[in-house]
Amino acid sequence: MLKMIITCLFLTFALASCTGTTVVHLETDAYAKLADVKLGASSGDVVRDRAIANEARRQFSKLVPDPQPYLSYTLTISPPEKTKKTDAKDYKAMQSELKKDAKLREKFLQLCRKELAAPDAVAEMAVYTHTSSAKALEVACQRLTAALASGRLSYSSFEKARQGLKTKEMIAILAGR
């Protein structure tokens, strides 16, 4: 039987508590409608696995836009890689070095531009910085670098931003307040 592998890192709910990969098998009937959903390999977290299977059932038409009759599709959900956490001492040392060294600030600006260059991130930055999409990336990175070097950006907000969360402090910095 033909198998199509669909790889997704995220569904509509957070997978931060992932313990391992979950495999869901989706089978179609003679009319190319979803007939059965079965769990394959389990992550070890039964509640999470059931939630993934239920979400796969609800999202089947989006996951498989043109299903074929009598086929089995496989959905593999892998946990996101966790970024290395910076400790508070390293963060303070980085702040003091940025404050002293203009070349290091320029390197940080380049890294920021590279990390936030995705179109969806630029669109989000345009909202926060109150600028056009063309200027948003540059303005956001300059404000973040200045806040980091001056000590306005706290360690907790920095770590939350690395995890993809925006704090009130971060939004205020991006807005230029």
pLDDT tens digits for range 19-53: 467 788 888 888 888 888 887 766 667 777 778 88
Look up residue 90 and give its two tokens.
């390293």
Same-domain check for residues 94 and 129: yes
Range of the domain at 159: 88-175
Query: Which helix H or strand E contains 25, and what residues bound it?
Result: strand 22-28
Give mean pLDDT, residues 74-78: 75
The answer to whether residue 83 is domain-embedded is no
Same-domain check for residues 99 and 161: yes
Per residue in 83-122, pLDDT (tens digit) is 555 677 777 887 888 888 888 888 888 888 887 777 777 8
Give the residue from 52, 77, 102 where a domain finishes.
Answer: 77
Q: Which residue(s) pair with 1 in the sheet? A: none
Per residue in 49-68, pLDDT (tens digit) is 778 888 888 888 887 888 88
Same-domain check for residues 45 and 100: no
Give the residue from 77, 104, 129 where a domain finishes.
Answer: 77
Same-domain check for residues 37 and 100: no
> Residue holding tokens 């063309």?
134
Same-domain check for residues 94 and 43: no
Mean pLDDT of the chain: 75
Percent of the chain with pLDDT over 70: 80
Give mean pLDDT, residues 9-24: 44
The answer to whether residue 31 is domain-embedded is yes
DSSP 142-175: HHHHHHHHHT-S-HHHHHHHHTT---HHHHHHHH
Q: Which of 22-31, 70-79, 142-151 shows the lowest per-residue confidence on average (mean pLDDT)?
A: 70-79
Residue 43 confidence (pLDDT): 65
Residue 1 confidence (pLDDT): 28
Residue 101 confidence (pLDDT): 82
Domain count, the chain: 2
Give the residue from 43, 77, 111 where a domain finishes.
Answer: 77
Query: Which helix H or strand E contains 110, and what residues bound it?
Result: helix 102-115
Same-domain check for residues 93 and 163: yes
Same-domain check for residues 30 and 72: yes
